[in-house]
C-alpha cells in the first residue's frame, strides 16, 4: 500500500481526473488537450513555474462546472454562447479546495472575450493572463475533429482562430500560438491516443503532496457531481457519508480509518457517472439487461479509484458496497470472508439512505419501516447484523430527539 502521506498532488489530480472519462470521453479529451496547448503556450511565453503549475491544474479541470450547470451547454460548439454558468460553477467548486484554489480564478474568466465587454466587467489586460491562455487553447481544441489527424486540419483551425484575433483572443497570444503551430511536433502532441503520456511529460515540477484531508476535499467535489447527475440521487452520496461516519464513530474507528471511510463513502457511487440517466431514472422495473448495466457501477468506480495512489483500500470498500454476506450480491458475488468492514458499513448506510429517500421505484420509507426491511436482510445474511444494530441505535436516538 502507498503511504498516504507520500502522494504527489500532480499524480493524485491526474488520476482523479480520469473520472471525467466516465461522464464524457470527449470532454475528458478536451480538458486534457486544452492543458497540453496551454502548457505549450506557457513554455513559449516563458511563464513562471508557479504559473505553469496553476495552468496545468486549471486546464485539466476548466470545464468541471459543466457537470453541475443547470442548463445543458454545448461547450464543444465553437460559437456556443451563454456559456458563463459553468465558469462560475467551476470557480465555486475549486475555490474551496485548499491545494487547487489557485486554479479557480483563471477558470472563472476562461470564456471572457479579450476585447470585452464581459459580464465580469473585465477586458484586455484586466482579464487574468492564465484565463486568456485557457480561452485561446479551449476554442482551438474544440475545432479539432476526430475524423482526421490534428495536423491535417491546421489551416482550417488557424483561419478560425485568426478571425477572432483582437476580439475573442489577445492578439499577442494568437501570434505566439501561430509560431507554435509552425512546429510539427505541436500537432503531434494533440494526438488523442497519447494524451496521457504527453500530460505526464509536460506536467510542470510540483513537489507538493496531498494529505487525506486534501483527498477528502477533492472527493467531495466528485461526490457533488455524482449526486447532481440524476434528480433522484440528489444528496445521496453526502447522506451515505454522514451515516457511514456516524456508524464508524459509534464503532470506535480510529481517526485515520474514519477519514478513509469518509473518502470511500463520498465516492462509493463514482461509477454511476458511466450509467445512462435513462436507467438511473427509469420509473418501471429494470429489464435483466438494464440491471446488468447498473451492476457495473461499483467496478467502474473501483478502476478509477484504484489508480489513485494510496486509495487501494478506499477503492476496495467502494467495490464491495453491493456485495452480500451470503454471496448473492454484485459485482462478483463474493462471500463473507472477503467483504471488508468499510464496505459493510457503507452497504448498510447506503441501503438505509436509499430506503428513506424518494426514488423512481418507491416512495420515501419511514425510519422504523426501513429498519424492519434491513432486519429481514440481516436475517437473510445480506448485511452485517452487528452494523445494523449500531445503525438502529443511531436512528432511534435521532428519532427520540425529534
**Torsion on CA atoms 14, 33, 74, 135, rounded to nearest 10:** 100
Give least dist CB 360 to Fe ion, A: 15
How many Cβ atoms are within 10 Å of 80's Cβ, its own excluded? 13
Give least dist CB 156 to Fe ion, A: 19
Q: Please give the Cα distance from 297 to 334 (Å, whole number).
A: 16
Give least dist CB 210 to Fe ion, A: 25
Helix (H/G/I), strand (E/B), else coil: 165: strand
Q: Please give the Cα distance from 241 to 388 (Å, whole number).
A: 16
Question: Nine-digit cell at 219?
Answer: 472527493
Site for Fe ion, rule CB under 5 A: 63, 75, 138, 269
Give least dist CB 346 to Fe ion, A: 9
Strand blocks (E) in 173-221: 209-210
Give least dist CB 226 to Fe ion, A: 10
- Nearest CB to Fe ion, comparing residues 89 and 206: 89
- Nearest CB to Fe ion, comparing residues 63 and 323: 63
Give least dist CB 254 to Fe ion, A: 26
- Nearest CB to Fe ion, comparing residues 4 and 225: 225
How many Cβ atoms are within 10 Å of 331's Cβ, its own excluded? 17
Among 347, 329, 357, 328, which Cα is nearest to 386's? 347
- Nearest CB to Fe ion, comparing residues 138 and 316: 138
- Nearest CB to Fe ion, comparing residues 63 and 384: 63
- Nearest CB to Fe ion, comparing residues 8 and 299: 299
Give least dist CB 89 to Fe ion, A: 10
How many Cβ atoms are within 10 Å of 397's Cβ, its own excluded? 11
- Nearest CB to Fe ion, comparing residues 102 and 138: 138
- The helix (run of H) or strand (run of E) holding residue 159 is helix 154-163
Give least dist CB 63 to Fe ion, A: 4
Q: Please give the Cα distance from 322 to 6 (Å, whole number).
A: 31
Judge residue 125's burial from the number of C-beta atoms within 10 Å of its C-beta, 0-12 exposed, 13-18 middle, 19 or more buried: exposed
Task: Output the residue with the shortest Cβ distance to Fe ion.
Answer: 138
Residue 389 contacts residue 348 (beta carbons within 8 Å)? no
Give least dist CB 74 to Fe ion, A: 11
Q: Please give the Cα distance from 212 to 164 (Å, whole number).
A: 44
- Nearest CB to Fe ion, comparing residues 138 and 217: 138
- Nearest CB to Fe ion, comparing residues 63 and 313: 63
Q: Please give the Cα distance from 265 to 11 (Å, whole number).
A: 22
Among 12, 2, 5, which Cα is nearest to 206's? 12
Give least dist CB 34 to Fe ion, A: 6
Give least dist CB 268 to Fe ion, A: 6
Query: How far is the CA of 398 from the CAs of 172, 215, 246, 392, in angstroms?
Result: 62, 30, 11, 10
- Nearest CB to Fe ion, comparing residues 112 and 138: 138
Q: Please give the Cα distance from 19 to 54 (Å, whole number).
A: 20
- Nearest CB to Fe ion, comparing residues 11 and 139: 139
Q: Please give the Cα distance from 307 to 316 (Å, whole number).
A: 12
Question: Nine-digit cell at 376?
Answer: 429481514
The DSSP letter of residue 90 is H
Amino acid at each position: 500500500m502507498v503511504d498516504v502521506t507520500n502522494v504527489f498532488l500532480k499524480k493524485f489530480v491526474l488520476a482523479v481526473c480520469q473520472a471525467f472519462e466516465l461522464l464524457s470521453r470527449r470532454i475528458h479529451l478536451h480538458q486534457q488537450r486544452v492543458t497540453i496547448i496551454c502548457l505549450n503556450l506557457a513554455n513559449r511565453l516563458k511563464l513562471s513555474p508557479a504559473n505553469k503549475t496553476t495552468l496545468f491544474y486549471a486546464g485539466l479541470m476548466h470545464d468541471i462546472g459543466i457537470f453541475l450547470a443547470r442548463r445543458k451547454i454545448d461547450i464543444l460548439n465553437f460559437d456556443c454562447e451563454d456559456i458563463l454558468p459553468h465558469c462560475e460553477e467551476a470557480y465555486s467548486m475549486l475555490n474551496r479546495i485548499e491545494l487547487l484554489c489557485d486554479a479557480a480564478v483563471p477558470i472563472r474568466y476562461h470564456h471572457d472575450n479579450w476585447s470585452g465587454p464581459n459580464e465580469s466587467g473585465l477586458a484586455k489586460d484586466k482579464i487574468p493572463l492564465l484565463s486568456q491562455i485557457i480561452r485561446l487553447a479551449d476554442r482551438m481544441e474544440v475545432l479539432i475533429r476526430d475524423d482526421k489527424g490534428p495536423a491535417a486540419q491546421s489551416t482550417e483551425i488557424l483561419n478560425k482562430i485568426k478571425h477572432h484575433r483582437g476580439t475573442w483572443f489577445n492578439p499577442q497570444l494568437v501570434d505566439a500560438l501561430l509560431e507554435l503551430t509552425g512546429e510539427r511536433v505541436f500537432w503531434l502532441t494533440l494526438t488523442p491516443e497519447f494524451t496521457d503520456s504527453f500530460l505526464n511529460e509536460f506536467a510542470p515540477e510540483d513537489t507538493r503532496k496531498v494529505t487525506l484531508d486534501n483527498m477528502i476535499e477533492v472527493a467531495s467535489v466528485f461526490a457533488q457531481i455524482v449526486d447532481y447527475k440524476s434528480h433522484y440521487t440528489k444528496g445521496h452520496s453526502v447522506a451515505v457519508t454522514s451515516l457511514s461516519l456516524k456508524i464508524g464513530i459509534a464503532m470506535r474507528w480510529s481517526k485515520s480509518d474514519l477519514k478513509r471511510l469518509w473518502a470511500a463513502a463520498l465516492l462509493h457511487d463514482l461509477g454511476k457517472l458511466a450509467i445512462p440517466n435513462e436507467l438511473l431514472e427509469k420509473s418501471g422495473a429494470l429489464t435483466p439487461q438494464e440491471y446488468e448495466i447498473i451492476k457495473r457501477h461499483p467496478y467502474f468506480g473501483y478502476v478509477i479509484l484504484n489508480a489513485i495512489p494510496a486509495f487501494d483500500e478506499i477503492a476496495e470498500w467502494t467495490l464491495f458496497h453491493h456485495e452480500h454476506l451470503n454471496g448473492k450480491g454484485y459485482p462478483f458475488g463474493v462471500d463473507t470472508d472477503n467483504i471488508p468492514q468499510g464496505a459493510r458499513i457503507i452497504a448498510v448506510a447506503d441501503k438505509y439512505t436509499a430506503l428513506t429517500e424518494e426514488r423512481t421505484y418507491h416512495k420515501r420509507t419511514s425510519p422504523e419501516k426501513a429498519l424492519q426491511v434491513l432486519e429481514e436482510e440481516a436475517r437473510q445474511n445480506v448485511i452485517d447484523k452487528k452494523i445494523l444494530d449500531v445503525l438502529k441505535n443511531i436512528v432511534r436516538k435521532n428519532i427520540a430527539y425529534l
